[in-house]
Amino acid sequence: MTKAFVFDAYGTLFDVQSVADATEAAFPGHGDIITQIWRMKQLEYSWLRSLMGAYEDFWAVTRQSLAYTLGVLGLEASPALIDEIAETYNSLTPYPEAEAALAALSAYPRAILSNGSPAMLDALVGRSPLAPHIGAILSVDAAGAFKPDPRAYALVEARLGVKPADVVFVSANGFDIAGAKRFGFRVARIARVPAAAVRAEIGKAAQAGLLPPATFYKALRTQLEGLGFAPDFEVASLSELARLPGIAPAAH
């Protein structure tokens, strides 16, 4: 029985690609590659810090991964500029359907479980139209480990009092889907980038002899992981969640 919906934030409710205007403005001609490497390295640093037992919060990880990205590209930036660009993660654009989709699930408690630090998430949600539809914001900071570490997912039952089997966990990130399913949640994947579309992009890029950074990102970060932990549901957008089997209609 579904008793709660828990959402990933970055890449699921909020578009991480919306930092592109800031990266391009700071380094004209480099915005796309900065955006893609930054996000990939941001996630890698979260995994590395969890594995090494060297936790620092997501704001630190976000700054460190941006500094890495600029360094590997040979671009110079002061600490103040790094902070300025990193701040864009606190005002990401929600996906267009996110507010209506959350409203359509008003019959259920709705929460966020995110790698973001408490300050980042408070800013991100508070600056968005999604705030009235989110009952709880859970940061992995309380566990001292990033997703997909089971300690992060355990925060849901500890804070919401809902057993994993009664939670529909919603994510568009392959690593998060695998981790949440392994933990015991029922998982809904938001499949915004179909596998066929990625293959078509790669094929077109191969013919042109150049793989755009955004295509490389899609291939690595928007697809299901091949680890044997498949989602229970797969939908193309957040709007379809209210039509999942067994989901009650919104109260009016």
Tens of pLDDT, residues 41-84:
999 999 999 999 999 999 999 999 999 999 999 999 999 999 99
Tens of pLDDT, residues 88-103:
999 999 999 999 999 9
In the chain, what are the domains? 4-243 (3.40.50.1000)
122 is catalytic: no
Q: What is the structure's pLDDT at 247?
A: 84
Q: What is the structure's pLDDT at 246?
A: 84
Residue 251 has pLDDT above 70, yes or no: no
Q: How confident is the model at residue 250 (pLDDT cuts 50, 70, 90)?
A: low
Q: What is the structure's pLDDT at 214?
A: 93
Q: How confident is the model at residue 248 (pLDDT cuts 50, 70, 90)?
A: confident
On the 0-12 / 13-18 / 19+ scale of CB atoms within 10 A, 79 is exposed
Dig out the tokens for 151 from the structure. Answer: 């300690």
Average pLDDT over residues 30-38: 97
Tens of pLDDT, residues 140-179:
999 999 999 999 999 999 999 999 999 999 999 999 999 9
Give the CA distances from residue 41 to residues 1, 58, 146, 220, in Å, rounded to whole numbers and listed in that order: 37, 12, 14, 12
- DSSP β-bridge partners for residue 31: none
Average pLDDT over residues 235-244: 97
Q: What is the structure's pLDDT at 252?
A: 43
Pairing status of strand 93-94 against strand 14-15: antiparallel
Alpha helices in the chain (DSSP H): 20-26, 31-52, 58-72, 79-86, 98-103, 118-126, 150-160, 174-183, 195-208, 213-221
Q: Pick the catalytic residue: 8, 15, 57, 149?
A: 8
**Cα diameter, the chain:** 55
Average pLDDT, the chain: 96
Q: How confident is the model at residue 206 (pLDDT cuts 50, 70, 90)?
A: confident
pTM of the model: 0.95
Q: What is the structure's pLDDT at 142?
A: 98
Average pLDDT over residues 186-215: 93
